[in-house]
């Protein structure tokens, strides 16, 4: 932008603006405000050197640095030499500019500080006059804004409230309000009244404020208005202690007595009751005048401080006030906890006239405090200690153990299969079970032990000063107690629990470490059949960490495509021909090599990854079977199905979509199921199996003979094959009992119109025996090991007939 274009923009500014060529230090243009400020003419300023108008050294230094190549922005106060030679203080700012990409220039903007100084001085004068008027009044005045921030107070206010000297010179709102609250016997009531007035900015109020030093202040509170709107509040304090005699003071204070929600009792110098306000009468259960003349001490007591009366008298004599927590005696019903504030009243000569007792009922506060502590430290369902209280008690036990050298035990208990109770019978029923279990566990422990509930069905037990033997006996007692039949809502059932045990200090020196170790040991119990207990061993943490790392690697491996299917041929015993194969997963784990399924399938089942892994196996196997069929080598592929995968609500749909997606005839897919799948929810399993059979998929029962092997579900479910577990095949030629079992399975399968498959055939004599028993199919190392799809394709091409080689 050129200077000609820039000038109209700066001409209308109130700020004085000059444009300077830094090379020549000459003024290129000025606006009207700059001409007025300099008291000159535009023609006289344009073309003149800037140093003539801004003569101070700092300005000269700026232009010298510019010539040296230092380009910068500068803002500060300086002096402007006007046309008449006078100096004017201005606020000046140098700003480099680059109009239209041309040579750099400097924009000099100035503001007159003289007018601002005159305004400031005028305001200071007004403020001084206002301060003088404020200080001349005999009343104490305190001015606050709408938020309660202190804007001003006078010396009389400071004197009435005996403000420390430091608060007169260094503003500190919190300290001032804290000092005021400390000067009154009822700090909470004083603050509550202030809060009430602050919430009503237009409210006017008058109050009497007794001070701990025996003085009585009258407070008038009015809103501070500006243009009809409240901008704050003015408090006017007046000392009325000397305004009337003691009787007048009492009459005036009677208004406070009648309206106060707190109990107020006035006594004479000998502590005999002179008057009680209605709140005190209600609190003590007295009628008007009932206790007049009686010693006030007869109504009060303190179990924790029997010398309270002597301490009170000493404090009143020395300080004029006394505070303490006392209990009010009552003829009927329990006593009432009170927070009492006692004030001493003297006449002009210092003689004691009266004392005034202010008492606040603490019943609700103490009950609320008790309830808060109960909620903070206990489990709301069972009433047992929670993690916070357990932390305190175990922390105390650790400190004791560090001094004595003794140890203790920490047990982590988890109910077995509790989730099924919640899921089937509802959380309310489950809560009743937890309450019953908590009561049983509590009966197994000593008073020095701690039973805590962490949440859900997890309990932690701290056994005080217990060695391994004591911990083992306690675990046995608790397991026995939990396994006793439970009857709730006329329903009887049996529970079990798993317990992990950690010992201090061997297994950990903090609560977190002990819980972690005990939880790890309990986890090991869950893996080994539940319903028992185990002590923590260091290798457990290593194993758990390895399982966590394996789970993570499995998920990453599934995402990165590290898995592969190998296929083991299945042979028809009668003809020796390969009639199908079983798809078996393998994991090419980076840094480890080929990992067999026994090393990772249990972890996948435990973490739930088995469902995703099974879906991948199903889709991959179906795709491979479809390729073989398209090549003219149709081969039935068997896929193992996990319980979690089968339980997925869309499992049947997944199978149907996989068949449709890859164009595989359903007869070429076999699904191998375990007995646990069928007996978990027989009706749901039956419905799914019927849907799968309707698709045309072959269904087989895997590992038959190792589970329940119930004929009841064999005859109900639409199964096509039974697979005899390899444990019966291994010793069959030598063990007649195993041979008899295999013969029975074969006969039973044929009786139910099912084919029978023998797994794990590794020797010729096993094959001969199976052929003699009439077994339909075999698979095992005698025929071929599991191999990749390409290897199986080559194996099929190379072995057109019977597969009899080992």
CA 221 and chain centroid, separation: 45
- Quick one: 477 and 569 in the same domain? no
Q: Which of these three, 536, 560, 580, is where a domain ends? A: 536
Query: pLDDT band for position 4 (50/70/90)?
Result: very low
- Quick one: 733 and 621 in the same domain? yes
Rounded mean pLDDT of the chain? 85
Secondary structure of residue 582 in the 3-state scheme: strand
Q: How many Cβ atoms are within 10 Å of 569's Cβ, its own excluded?
A: 24
Query: Given a cut of 80, is residue 374 above it in pLDDT?
Result: no
Average pLDDT over residues 598-604: 82
Query: Given a cut of 70, is residue 776 above it in pLDDT?
Result: yes
Residue 140 in contact with residue 237, Cβ under 8 Å? yes
pLDDT at position 562 is 87
Average pLDDT over residues 26-46: 91
- Quick one: 750 and 629 in the same domain? yes
- Quick one: 113 and 190 in the same domain? no
pLDDT at position 806 is 28
Query: pLDDT band for position 1 (50/70/90)?
Result: very low
Distances (CA, A) of 51 to 15, 58, 86: 20, 11, 15
pLDDT at position 8 is 59
Query: Given a cut of 90, is residue 346 above it in pLDDT?
Result: no
Is 264 contained in some domain? Answer: yes
Domain CATH for 721 = 3.20.20.450
Q: How many Cβ atoms are within 10 Å of 113's Cβ, its own excluded?
A: 17
Is 125 contained in some domain? Answer: no
C-alpha angle with apex 441: 440 to 447, nearest 5 degrees?
Answer: 115
* Residue labelled with tokens 């004791």: 400
CA-CA distance, 49 to 46, in Å (whole number)?
9
CA-CA distance, 299 to 357, in Å (whole number)?
12
Tokens for 456? 């859900």
Lowest mean pLDDT among 436-450, 595-609, 631-645, 763-777: 595-609
Tokens for 650? 């869309």
Lowest mean pLDDT among 313-317, 622-626, 702-706: 702-706
Average pLDDT over residues 274-281: 83
What letter does residue 14 receive in the DSSP assignment? Answer: S
Tokens for 528? 């080994």
pLDDT at position 210 is 92
Phi, psi dihedral angles at 567 (to 5 degrees): -125, 125
Q: Where are the beta strands (DSSP E) in 429-557?
A: 450-455, 458-463, 486-488, 491-493, 497-504, 533-535
- Quick one: 453 and 362 in the same domain? no
Secondary structure of residue 358 in the 3-state scheme: strand
SS (H, E, C) 637-651: EEEECCHHHHHCCCH
CA-CA distance, 605 to 554, in Å (whole number)?
12
Is 803 contained in some domain? Answer: no
Please list, in sequence order, all residues whose beta carbon lies within 8 angstroms of the beta carbon of residue 160, skipping any fewer than 6 positions away. Answer: 140, 215, 217, 237, 239
CA-CA distance, 476 to 459, in Å (whole number)?
15
Q: Which of these three, 337, 366, 395, is where a domain ends? A: 366
Lowest mean pLDDT among 91-95, 415-419, 599-603: 599-603
Query: Given a cut of 50, is residue 671 above it in pLDDT?
Result: yes
Is 545 contained in some domain? Answer: no
Is 371 contained in some domain? Answer: no
Q: Work out whether strand 593-595 and strand 636-640 pair parallel, antiparallel, or are unpaired.
A: unpaired
pLDDT at position 603 is 81
pLDDT at position 494 is 87
Query: Given a cut of 60, is residue 249 above it in pLDDT?
Result: no
Is 232 contained in some domain? Answer: yes
345 closest CA partner among 357, 337, 354, 336 = 354
Q: Where are the beta strands (DSSP E) in 551-696?
A: 563-572, 578-589, 593-595, 636-640, 669-673
- Quick one: 616 and 757 in the same domain? yes
Residue 777 in contact with residue 771, Cβ under 8 Å? no
- Quick one: 787 and 683 in the same domain? yes
Tokens for 245? 């005699």
Residue 500 in contact with residue 536, Cβ under 8 Å? yes
766 closest CA partner among 728, 803, 799 = 728
Question: For the chain, how far is it from start to end, CA to CA, in angstroms?
Answer: 94
Query: pLDDT band for position 801 (50/70/90)?
Result: very low
Query: Given a cut of 50, is residue 201 above it in pLDDT?
Result: yes
pLDDT at position 227 is 80
Q: Where are the beta strands (DSSP E) in 307-394?
A: 321-328, 336-346, 352-361
Is 266 contained in some domain? Answer: yes
Q: Which of these three, 471, 506, 536, is where a domain ends? A: 536
pLDDT at position 108 is 92
Query: pLDDT band for position 128 (50/70/90)?
Result: low
Residue 729 exposure: Cα atoms within 13 Å on the Cβ side: 30
Lowest mean pLDDT among 233-237, 286-290, 513-517, 754-758: 286-290
Please list, in sequence order, all residues whose beta carbon lies within 8 angstroms of the beta carbon of residue 584, skipping any fewer than 6 positions away. Answer: 565, 566, 567, 568, 597, 640, 786
- Quick one: 416 and 350 in the same domain? no
Domain CATH for 463 = 3.30.70.270
583 closest CA partner among 573, 570, 592 = 570
Query: pLDDT band for position 53 (50/70/90)?
Result: very high
Taking CB atoms within 8 Å and a gap of at least 24, the contacts of 728-737 are 729/758, 729/759, 729/760, 729/761, 729/766, 729/770, 729/780, 730/760, 730/762, 732/766, 732/769, 732/770, 733/763, 733/765, 733/766, 733/769
Query: pLDDT band for position 2 (50/70/90)?
Result: very low
Lowest mean pLDDT among 117-131, 501-515, 749-763: 117-131
- Quick one: 418 and 292 in the same domain? no
**Comparison of pLDDT for 748 and 124, the residue scoring more:** 748
What letter does residue 49 receive in the DSSP assignment? Answer: B
Q: How many Cβ atoms are within 10 Å of 565's Cβ, its own excluded?
A: 21
pTM above 0.75, yes or no: no
pLDDT at position 617 is 94
What letter does residue 325 receive in the DSSP assignment? Answer: E
Average pLDDT over residues 666-680: 85
Query: Given a cut of 80, is residue 284 above it in pLDDT?
Result: no
Query: pLDDT band for position 707 (50/70/90)?
Result: low
Residue 218 in contact with residue 210, Cβ under 8 Å? no
Q: Tell me how many domains the chain contains.
A: 5
- Quick one: 656 and 611 in the same domain? yes
**Comparison of pLDDT for 370 and 83, the residue scoring more:** 83
Domain CATH for 44 = 3.30.450.20
Return the H-helix or E-strand segment holding 2: none
Please list, in sequence order, all residues whose beta carbon lies within 8 angstroms of the beta carbon of residue 727, skipping any fewer than 6 positions away. Answer: 705, 706, 760
**What are the tens digits of pLDDT across the range 408-417?**
999 999 998 8
Is 427 contained in some domain? Answer: yes
Query: Would you mind telling me the total number of residues written for the chain in this entry?
Result: 806
Structural domain for 750, as ranges: 551-798
pLDDT at position 3 is 47
pLDDT at position 480 is 93
Tokens for 157? 């206010």
**What are the tens digits of pLDDT across the range 375-412?**
777 888 999 999 999 999 999 999 999 988 889 999 99
Query: Given a cut of 60, is residue 275 above it in pLDDT?
Result: yes
- Quick one: 627 and 776 in the same domain? yes
- Quick one: 270 and 401 in the same domain? no
């Amino acid at each position: 932008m050129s200077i000609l274009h820039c000038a109209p923009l700066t001409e209308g500014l109130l700020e004085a603006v000059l444009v300077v060529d830094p090379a020549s230090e000459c003024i290129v243009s000025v606006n009207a405000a700059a001409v007025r400020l300099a008291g000159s003419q535009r023609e006289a300023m344009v073309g003149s050197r800037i140093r003539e108008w801004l003569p101070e050294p700092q300005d000269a230094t700026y232009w010298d640095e510019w010539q040296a190549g230092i380009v910068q922005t500068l803002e500060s106060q300086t002096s402007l030499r006007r046309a008449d030679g006078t100096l004017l203080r201005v606020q000046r700012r140098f700003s480099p500019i680059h109009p239209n990409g041309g040579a750099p220039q400097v924009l000099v903007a100035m503001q007159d500080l003289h007018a601002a100084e005159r305004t400031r001085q005028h305001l200071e004068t007004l403020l001084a006059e206002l301060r003088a008027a404020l200080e001349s009044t005999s009343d104490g005045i305190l001015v606050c804004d709408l938020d309660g921030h202190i804007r001003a107070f006078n010396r009389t206010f400071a004197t009435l409230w005996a403000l420390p000297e430091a608060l007169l010179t260094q503003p500190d709102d919190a300290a001032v309000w804290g000092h005021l609250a400390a000067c009154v016997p009822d700090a909470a009531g004083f603050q509550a009244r202030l809060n009430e007035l602050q919430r009503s900015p237009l409210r006017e109020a008058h109050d009497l404020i007794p001070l701990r030093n025996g003085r009585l202040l009258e407070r008038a509170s009015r809103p501070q208005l500006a243009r009809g709107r409240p901008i704050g509040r003015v408090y006017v304090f007046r000392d009325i202690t000397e305004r009337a005699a003691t009787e007048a003071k009492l009459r005036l204070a009677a208004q406070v007595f009648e309206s106060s929600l707190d109990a107020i009792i006035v006594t004479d110098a000998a502590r005999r009751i002179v008057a009680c306000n209605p709140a005190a009468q209600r609190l003590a259960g007295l009628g008007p005048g009932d206790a007049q003349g009686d010693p006030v001490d007869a109504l009060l007591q303190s179990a924790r401080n029997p010398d309270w009366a002597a301490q009170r008298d000493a404090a009143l004599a020395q300080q004029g006030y006394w505070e303490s927590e006392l209990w009010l005696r009552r003829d009927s019903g329990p006593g009432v906890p009170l927070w009492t504030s006692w004030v001493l009243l003297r006449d002009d000569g210092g003689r004691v006239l009266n004392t005034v007792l202010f008492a606040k009922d603490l019943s609700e506060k103490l009950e609320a405090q008790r309830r808060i502590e109960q909620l903070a430290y206990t489990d709301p369902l069972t009433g047992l200690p929670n993690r916070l209280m357990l932390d305190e008690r175990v922390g105390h036990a650790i400190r004791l153990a560090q001094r004595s050298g003794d140890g203790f035990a920490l047990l982590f208990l988890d109910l077995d299969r509790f989730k099924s109770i919640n899921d089937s019978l509802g959380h309310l029923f489950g809560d009743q079970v937890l309450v019953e279990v908590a009561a049983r566990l509590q009966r197994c422990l000593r008073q020095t032990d701690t039973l805590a509930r962490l949440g859900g069905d997890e309990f932690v037990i701290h056994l005080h000063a217990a060695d391994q033997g004591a911990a083992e006996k306690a675990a046995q007692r608790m397991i026995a107690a939990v396994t006793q039949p439970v009857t709730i809502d006329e329903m009887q059932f049996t529970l079990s629990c798993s317990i992990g045990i950690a010992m201090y200090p061997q297994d950990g020196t903090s609560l977190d470490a002990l819980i972690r170790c005990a939880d790890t040991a309990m986890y090991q119990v869950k893996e080994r059949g539940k319903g028992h207990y185990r002590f923590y061993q260091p290798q457990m943490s290593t194993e758990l960490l390895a399982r966590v790392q394996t789970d993570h690697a499995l998920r990453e491996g599934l995402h990165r495509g590290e898995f592969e299917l190998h296929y083991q041929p299945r042979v028809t015993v009668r003809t020796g021909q390969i009639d199908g194969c079983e798809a078996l997963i393998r994991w090419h784990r980076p840094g480890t090599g080929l990992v067999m399924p026994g090393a990772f399938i249990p972890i996948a089942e435990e973490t739930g990854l088995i469902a995703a892994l099974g879906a991948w196996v199903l889709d991959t196997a179906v795709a491979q079977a479809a390729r073989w069929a398209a090549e003219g080598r149709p081969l039935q592929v068997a896929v193992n199905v996990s319980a979690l995968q089968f339980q997925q609500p869309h499992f049947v749909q997944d199978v149907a979509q996989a068949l449709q997606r890859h164009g595989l005839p359903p007869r070429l897919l076999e699904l191998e199921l375990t007995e646990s799948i069928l007996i978990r929810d027989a009706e749901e399993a039956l419905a799914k199996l019927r849907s799968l059979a309707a698709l045309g998929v072959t269904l087989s029962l895997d590992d038959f003979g190792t589970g329940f092997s119930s004929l009841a579900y064999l005859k109900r479910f639409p199964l096509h094959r039974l697979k005899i577990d390899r444990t019966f095949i291994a010793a069959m030629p030598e063990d007649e009992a195993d041979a008899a079992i295999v013969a029975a399975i074969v006969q039973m399968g044929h009786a139910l119109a099912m084919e029978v498959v023998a797994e794990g055939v590794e020797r010729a004599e096993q094959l001969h025996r199976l052929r003699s028993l009439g077994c339909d199919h075999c698979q095992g190392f005698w025929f071929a090991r599991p191999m990749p799809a390409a290897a199986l394709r080559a194996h099929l091409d190379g072995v057109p007939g019977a597969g009899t080689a080992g």
